[in-house]
Structure 1
Amino acid sequence: MEPEQGVTAEPIDANPLRWLYSIFARFVARFWGVIIILGAWQAWVLISGYNAIVLPPPLSVLHQVATNLGLFAFAGLQTLAVAIIGTVIGMLLGSVAAILAWYSRLFSGLLTPLALIFTAVPAVALVPVIARLLGYDIRTVIAIVAVISFFPSFVFTGSGLRALPPGSADLFRVNGASTWMQLRYLALPAAVPHWMVALRLGAASAVLSAIIAEFAMGTSGLGSVFSEARDSFDMTRALGASLVATIISVIGFLLAISAERIVRDRWD
């Protein structure tokens, strides 16, 4: 069907250069600080003449990732997988522990000090202990991530279980609601937004925890790539692994923020 006379059918964007420029402008507006840091880094390395073993320029790091994309993608997927599995396990265990602590003062007195102790111990110090128990393989990496994710889930879920609307607990008790009914219909719904905060915090540290465990054991993932690059004095590849890990962490963090915002909008 031909357009009527006097009506001009214009495409959505007749100039692809203008579309690319708008994308570039939005990117610069959002990440101008990172661009300045990378530009200063590149200029500093070129002016000072540092050897690549000491400090490679960022363009070399980007070239390393681009030319070895398969290696970094496979290692990144391995790290991402164990980070997700460990986070899910840690969040579930932390939530269950928080529910037990809410249900019983005895459990609260037992679990809270243990959670504080595990949080105070650095992840690097936990690796040899857990590796002795589970073995020097992927199970230890998952366990390290689970331990790191446990404490935020325990704390924020416990806080949410007690952040009830004023007078709601008394209303439930007056109407003869059991403890299970109070947990199911009152405490757990109140804890969901707080649980999402724990997920955001866990997503930010899960990849880093996985890389620390992989680096300490040299088994697989980006941590293993970083360890092998360090042993061969290949700082360009080591920083490439760090770059991929940073990208994965940022994406996970942004997804967690989006999920938290959706949940909060629904609960409010």
Structure 2
Amino acid sequence: MSSTTSTTPVHESNRRRRTPGWHRAVSPITLLALWQTASSTGLLPPDKLDSPAAIFESLTRLWSEGELQDAVAVSGQRVLLGFTIGATVGVVLAVLAGLSRLGENAIDPPMQMLRTVPHLGLLPLLVLWFGIDETPKVAIIALGVSFPLYVNTYAGVRGVDQKFLDAARVLGLSQWERLRQVVLPAALPSALVGLRLSLGVAWLTLIVAEQINTTSGIGFIVMDAASFNRTGEMVGGLLIYSSLGLLTDSLVRYIERKALAWRTG
């Protein structure tokens, strides 16, 4: 009786691990099918929203002209640069604030104050400071990325079991070794949650940032299509945003499964 009870969670965990990945695609495909059906039957008029087939045709045309590839490359570069800066700042500040009382008192209060300010509202100020080129776009993405990653990493560092730190001291580990072998691995689950949230914020911020004096990127395609009421291209651009966000989130989920394999079962 007891042996059956003890192995049940393991069996359930194994079933979860063996769940096919295509199961996650069922609901999006169903929504697309319902959308196409509504468009084909006239329930959803094309002047309000194009059908998935029409949107796919618009994206195919943009791809054949080379415009879509260029736009994705420009937008991806903005997100990559802004995310790198914001993630670096967020993680470094979180570790410094989490490791000592002095760091917590110096760093955490201003970070908690700043994260309550809607970062998108700072875009006009960043434009005033840095002009209307790429700098304010990258800066607003970096701001949006840094706070979720800071909060989650800080919580992970502060949540490290004191017994582990005491054991590391007894074993004679230096402060750097304790950070690398004890603190960071223990804080990794929380940091990865912050990473997923930050990537979502990065793409959402990009959508807004690319509405400001943009002559390239996915946002330019969306704005240009909106000016001429081309809903296929407009919705297609938004779908590209969401697809890129889903792709990066899936990448982090993959990293999470590999890095936190020790938590399985």
Greater displacement, 188-197 / 249-258: 188-197
Counterparts of 2:132 and 2:249, CA distance in 1: 28
Which residue of the partner structure matches residue 10 of structure 1? Answer: none
Kept in 1, the 8 Å contact 2:130–2:136? The answer is yes
Kept in 1, the 8 Å contact 2:99–2:157? The answer is no
1:254 aligns with 2:250: yes
Which residue of the partner structure matches residue 18 of structure 1? Answer: none
**Match among 73, 81, 84 for residue 80 of structure 2:** 84
Q: What are the superposed Cα offsets for residues 94-142 of structure 1, whole Å, 9 maximum, x if unpaired?
A: 1111122124434423433433344333343121111212221222121
Larger radius of gyration, structure 1 or 2? 1
Counterparts of 1:159 and 1:189, CA distance in 2: 13
1:121 aligns with 2:88: no
Kept in 2, the 8 Å contact 1:200–1:260? The answer is no
Displacement of 1:28 in angstroms is: 7.3
**Match among 46, 51, 57 for residue 57 of structure 1:** 51
Which residue of the partner structure matches residue 44 of structure 1? Answer: 38
Q: Does the C-alpha gap of structure 1 residues 132 and 77 become closer, same or farther in structure 2, counting only changes over 3 Å? A: same
Which residue of the partner structure matches residue 179 of structure 2? Answer: 183
Taking structure 1 as the reference length, the TM-score comes to 0.79
- Root-mean-square deviation over aligned CA pairs: 2.7
Greater displacement, 222-231 / 89-98: 222-231
Taking structure 2 as the reference length, the TM-score comes to 0.80
1:223 aligns with 2:250: no
Counterparts of 1:155 and 1:184, CA distance in 2: 20
Q: Does the C-alpha gap of structure 1 residues 162 and 116 become closer, same or farther in structure 2, counting only changes over 3 Å? A: closer
Kept in 1, the 8 Å contact 2:199–2:249? The answer is yes
Counterparts of 1:109 and 1:239, CA distance in 2: 46
Gaps of 5+ in 1: 1-25
Kept in 2, the 8 Å contact 1:193–1:267? The answer is no
Kept in 1, the 8 Å contact 2:91–2:150? The answer is yes
3-state SS of the aligned residue for 1:216?
coil
Q: How many residues align?
A: 243
Gaps of 5+ in 2: 1-19
Kept in 2, the 8 Å contact 1:193–1:264? The answer is yes
- Written as runs of structure 1 = structure 2, the 5 A alignment for 1:121-160 is 121-160=117-156
Counterparts of 2:73 and 2:229, CA distance in 1: 24
Kept in 2, the 8 Å contact 1:124–1:216? The answer is no
